[in-house]
Amino acid sequence: MLLPRNTMAANPLELQPYAQLDDEDCLQRIIAAKAALGERVVILGHHYQRDEVFEHADFSGDSLKLSRQAADSRAEFIVFCGVHFMAEVADILSRPEQVSILPDLSAGCSMADMADLDKVERAWQELASVLNPEETVTPVTYINSAANLKAFCGNHGGVVCTSTNARRILEWSFAQRDKVLFFPDQHLGRNTGAAMGIPLEQMVVWDFDLPMGGLTAEQIHQAKIILWKGYCSVHQMFRPAQIENFRSEHPDGKVISHPECSYEVCQLSDHVGSTEYIIQTIRDSAPGTHWLVGTELNLVNRLHNQMKPEGKTVQFMSPTVCMCSTMFRIDPQHLAWVLENLVEGTVVNRITVPENVANSARVALRRMLEISA
Ligand code: 13P
Ligand code: SF4
């Protein structure tokens, strides 16, 4: 039976008792709830999820793969083990009667929070004082952003990108207009622009706390990409010195990094790409390869364990623990709680994007899916 679109928890099972359960109890309860729900539920798991959650995913992937999965899903309930913007994308791309659920509503993305609609609209207006942005600037938002920023891009001839398709999206964007306003991650924008041959001087940083982004009219006219001053707190921890140390100890070793890392780290890496690309490249490498990896700890640890039997070593880039603390908020206790509520006929932690925002955001997301098909 389909629940009405705005069903709220009539009598939700309280979360509190679940906090007392250990992971093993949760494991059994998640398996039982999934079995009871059958094809009515699909669990999507991002690669950064902890193992005790990740093992329950029907589909795992990076942001692009999971957004395609959300669009293709036929299940009534899409339980997204990831962060808030991902569950929003699932709601926007799924059919109206499908329900998108985020097991812990506090699982956000600190980088996504670095851009908000007020600041982006102000930037657009300020740019309008030196050029006509509707004719000269394509707004591109990384998928790690709120739905209303995707809607902004949909309304202004722009598009969404992920770390997998950023280059193709920028190529498309430059075919539309001369410049790109790229938010919220300056590093993905800069690394992609540099790989396309755009000189660093033509990629300027827009400081959203300063009038005109802290830039002169001259700098804006010269720029090809205007980079929002956002970053990922996890990926900014990696340093060139960590790569240099690794290379001196393992001259034949290979280095692979996510494009949210700094320009200097990416320049020193042998390979740069999304989480899905990192997994595939390490899987395809020769036995005996020693890898240094610049991305989130849960994924690196999982790869290390999976690759050990093949004689490959997968080492985390930083000597200190840096994991995505918001991804980590999705734990087996919250997953058991949302699934058992569904079994009882109650939806908790539903993510709903208002229809007017969803319609415009869908334009920008569908453009992305078409360009990267
Ligand atoms: P991917 O698109 O590679 O999954 O990256 C998403 C993300 O949040 C990385 O920090
Ligand atoms: Fe956001 Fe960084 Fe976490 Fe990815 S790793 S979800 S960009 S905070």
pLDDT digits over 149-187, tens only? 999 999 999 999 999 999 999 999 999 999 999 999 999
Question: What's the pLDDT tens digit per position in 17-34?
Answer: 999 999 999 999 999 999
Give me the percent of the chain exceeding a pLDDT of 70. Answer: 97
Question: What's the pLDDT tens digit per position in 84-127?
Answer: 999 999 999 999 999 999 999 999 999 999 999 999 999 999 99
Question: What's the pLDDT tens digit per position in 286-308?
Answer: 999 999 999 999 999 999 999 99
Ligand 1 cavity residues, CB under 6 Å: 62-63, 144, 162-163, 232, 260, 274-275
Query: Smallest Cα–Cα separation from 298: which of 314, 312, 282, 281?
Result: 314
Which segments of the chain are extended strands (E)? 41-46, 59-61, 77-81, 99-101, 137-142, 159-161, 179-183, 203-206, 225-228, 254-257, 271-272, 290-294, 313-316
Determine whether the shortest distance from the Cβ of 296 to ligand 2 is under 6 A.
yes
Q: What per-residue confidence (pLDDT) applies to 5?
A: 41
Give DSSP secondary structure letters for 226-265.
Answer: EEESB--TTGGG--HHHHHHHHHH-TT-EEEE-TTS-HHH
Q: What per-residue confidence (pLDDT) applies to 99?
A: 97
Amino acid in the structure at residue 72: D
> What span, in angstroms and rounded, lies between the C-alpha atoms of 206 and 220?
10
Two structure tokens written together for 144: 């790690």
Q: What per-residue confidence (pLDDT) applies to 321?
A: 83
Can you tell me which atom of ligand 2 is nearest the CA of 48?
5
Q: Which helix (H) or strand (E) holds 105?
A: none
Residue with the smallest CA separation from ligand 2 atom 5 is: 324
Task: Check whether 74 has a pLDDT greater than 70.
Answer: yes
Q: What per-residue confidence (pLDDT) applies to 10?
A: 61
The more confidently predicted of residues 70 and 206 is 206
Q: What per-residue confidence (pLDDT) applies to 201?
A: 98
Which residues are CB-neighbours of 248 under 8 A, at least 6 positions away? none
Can you tell me which atom of ligand 1 is nearest the CA of 275?
3
Whose structure tokens read 């004719």?
135
Residue with the smallest CA separation from ligand 1 atom 2 is: 63
> Ligand 2 center to residue 343 CA distance, Å?
31
Task: Check whether 129 has a pLDDT greater than 60.
Answer: yes
Task: Give the global pTM.
Answer: 0.94
> What span, in angstroms and rounded, lies between the C-alpha atoms of 166 and 365?
13
Question: What's the pLDDT tens digit per position in 179-199?
Answer: 999 999 999 999 999 999 999
Q: What per-residue confidence (pLDDT) applies to 6?
A: 42
> Ligand 1 center to residue 145 CA distance, Å?
12
Q: What per-residue confidence (pLDDT) applies to 64?
A: 87
Q: What per-residue confidence (pLDDT) applies to 326?
A: 95
